[in-house]
Amino acid sequence: MNRDRRHLRILVVEDNIGDYVLVEDYLLEEFENLSLEHAKSFKEAKKVLSTKEGFIDLILLDLSLPDVSREEVLDKVIHCSVDVPIVILTGYTNLTFSRTALAKGASDYLVKDELTPSLLYKSIIYAIERHAFSSRLKESEKIYRDLFELSPEPMFLFDVDTYEILNVNQAAVQQYGYSKEEFLSMSLMDIKPDEEKESAKKIIQETRTALNITLEGEHHHIKKNGEIIIVEIHASDLKYKKRNARMALARNVTEKRREEHRLKLLESVITNSTELVAILEPVASTEEGRSIVYVNEGFTQMTGYTPDEVLGKPLQILNGPKTSKKEIQRLDEAKKNWEFCEVEFINYRKDGSEFWVNTFMIPVADIDGGYSHWVIIGRDISEQKKYEAELKKSLSEKEILLSEIHHRVKNNLAVVSGMMQLQIIEEENEEVVKRLYDSVFRIQTMATIHELLYESSSFSMLYFSEIIKKLVDSIHEALHQKKDISIEYNITPIELNINQAIPSSLIVNEVITNIYKHAFTDRATGKIVIDLKERNDNLIQICIRDNGVGLPEDFDPEVSGHLGTNIIRTLSSQLEADFGLSSKNNGTVFTLDFKKKDIRGMGSALL
């Protein structure tokens, strides 16, 4: 049930705690955002009204209070409440007294023995709405017009003698499709179906001068486009320009009625659903557990049990040796706490065959705030489980194959690297040796990545921070030339997609290699600082700086023709990265900034 979401603050003046609890339950059933104040005497009510003036929307007043007589209580509360609507809620059924109370200004007079949540809700809503309208109408005609026009619900002002429409608000214009000028030339009967016109006139005449008019049942209005809508009518009579008039609020409840119809259809769907539906008693009446009180045809089709075979028995008759005890325990815990629960486990049909079932268990609330039943909805997922098992097996095989591929690629790269190192040994040309060493380091960078992929539980993501340390250690081991070069890491653990990890690793390889080759020429010591961090906007920032000799004065990374610089420029473009290379007072600074992305496809696609 959809509860009213408006924010209401209600003072309940009631000395009987049992009656108060009942009223509280009724209110919470109808309202979602409710603040309640409770006063057990007139003295307490007066204190609440004096300290929370302007913060109470409505008063529910019992006439039997310990510190003031029934005849005086209404007058005293009206005096203290200033401008708050009052609904009398009492066990006193004297008709004359009720008329007197309404004449004095009470919005409604409700008898406790006849009270229902719906009746209380309607009375409160009408009292608040009517009070809101009438209080402003009394202030001035301008305030009346503003309130009338700003109401989100269609409102009509019409002559109760001629039924001539005297005024409508903007909501009526928007909902019914007529312009205001058209409305003012019409009668109220022009928006009523022909078959309801006479009964509508009769109701209007029978309810003349009434203070609280709420028309029960279905009432229909016709919009300009011919559409017929169902409306609830709340109205009050007043004098308007010396005419006997009625102001009526017409709430469109067509969708509400459709929803009620939809719920009836839903009931039919449940009855005829192919999914298992069972209803259990709220608490166990036997040691075996909660008994089944209803099953649908889908239950019989799925389990093989007829209703006669399971009614009065616990749902555990479907459990067996392979039913998950852990999932059953989850269901039991949910039942203790009256909570929704979803589980999956194996159940057994009448013939003993197994089937996987996805089960929803839902507690059904009653009007008293408790729970009346449990609804169980089960879906046979045996085929889904079979498919999942096959998929897991296939995925496991592919993971093993992919791991083996990375392992073999790493080994093949190691062979290529070894062959190139043999070529270096035999090569006499120093320039060629340098170029071969550069290529060896690049190959080793690729091999390092495939090694990490082989060792990783993921074949698409790598911890870039680990790659950097392995690369730098490898280059340091090969090129330090017995120089005392210290390395400082300021690295945040960062995981990158393989398609970003490969090019960024190659860029780091080029930068570190160049530092070792050129930054510390004719120096015995040096220092390299490597910073790696990720900002909140997924921007990866790499900074590599040294305290070496720095760049040549005429060096421009944008026009440099060196292979290493070209590689950095190309790979940065593929990463959509910004890179910088500059010399400070002491050494060189390289920066690389790029957005972290989840790029699909093979890692080599970027190379």
Containing 28, the helix (H) or strand (E) segment is helix 17-30
Q: Give the pLDDT mean for 590-599.
A: 87
Q: Confirm or reject CATH 3.40.50.300 for domain 4-139, answering yes or no.
A: no
Q: Give the pLDDT mean for 549-561.
A: 70
pLDDT band (50, 70, 90) for residue 351:
very high
Ranges in the chain annotated CATH 3.40.50.2300: 4-139
Is the pLDDT reported for residue 591 higher than 90?
Answer: yes
pLDDT at 598 (0 to 100): 75
Is the pLDDT reported for residue 603 higher than 50?
Answer: no
Phi first, then psi, for residue 41 (nearest 5°) are -155, 170
- Compute the distance between CA of residue 523 and CA of residue 511 in angstroms, rounded to an integer: 19
Q: Give the pLDDT mean for 138-165.
A: 80
pLDDT band (50, 70, 90) for residue 605:
very low
Q: 43-57, 131-145, 202-216, 352-366: which range is least confident on average?
A: 131-145
CATH number of 273-380: 3.30.450.20
Name the CATH architecture for the domain at 388-606: 2-Layer Sandwich (3.30)
- Compute the distance between CA of residue 152 and CA of residue 131 in angstroms, rounded to an integer: 16
CA angle 294, 342, 298 (to 5 degrees): 35
pLDDT at 604 (0 to 100): 43
Residue 64 tokens read as: 């039997």
- Compute the distance between CA of residue 443 and CA of residue 435 in angstroms, rounded to an integer: 12
13, 42 contact by CB (below 8 A) = yes
- Compute the distance between CA of residue 490 and CA of residue 234 in angstroms, rounded to an integer: 72
Q: Which residue has the higher pLDDT, 531 or 566?
A: 531
Q: 32-36, 184-188, 396-400, 596-600: which range is least confident on average?
A: 396-400
Q: Give the pLDDT mean for 409-423.
A: 64
3-state secondary structure of 91: coil
84, 58 contact by CB (below 8 A) = yes
pLDDT at 184 (0 to 100): 94
Residue 66 per-residue DSSP state: T
Q: Are strands 578-583 and 588-595 parallel, antiparallel or unpaired?
A: antiparallel
Ranges in the chain annotated CATH 3.30.450.20: 147-257, 273-380
Residue 346 tokens read as: 């194996």
Q: Give 495's strand partners.
A: 463
Q: What does the pLDDT look like over 565-578, one tens digit per residue? A: 787 888 888 888 99
Phi first, then psi, for residue 305 (nearest 5°) are -85, 135
Q: What does the pLDDT look like over 63-103, one tens digit per residue? A: 889 999 888 888 899 888 878 899 999 888 888 888 888 88
Q: What does the pLDDT look like over 423-466, one tens digit per residue? A: 677 667 777 766 676 676 667 666 666 665 555 555 567 778 88
Q: What does the pLDDT look like over 189-229, one tens digit per residue? A: 999 999 999 999 999 998 887 767 888 777 999 999 999 99
Is the pLDDT reported for residue 558 higher than 80?
Answer: no
CATH number of 147-257: 3.30.450.20
Its sign, for the CA torsion 294, 296, 302, 307, is positive
For the chain, the average pLDDT equals 83
Sequence-ordered alpha helix ranges (H) in 237-381: 254-272, 297-303, 307-310, 325-337
Closest CA to 137 of 126, 123, 125, 149: 149
What's the start-to-end Cα distance of the chain, in Å?
60
pLDDT over 90 percentage in the chain: 32
* Residue 143: HSE in the Cβ half-sphere, 13 Å Cα cutoff: 9
Other Cβ atoms less than 10 A from the Cβ of 540: the count is 22
Phi first, then psi, for residue 53 (nearest 5°) are -60, 130
- Rg over CA atoms, the chain: 41
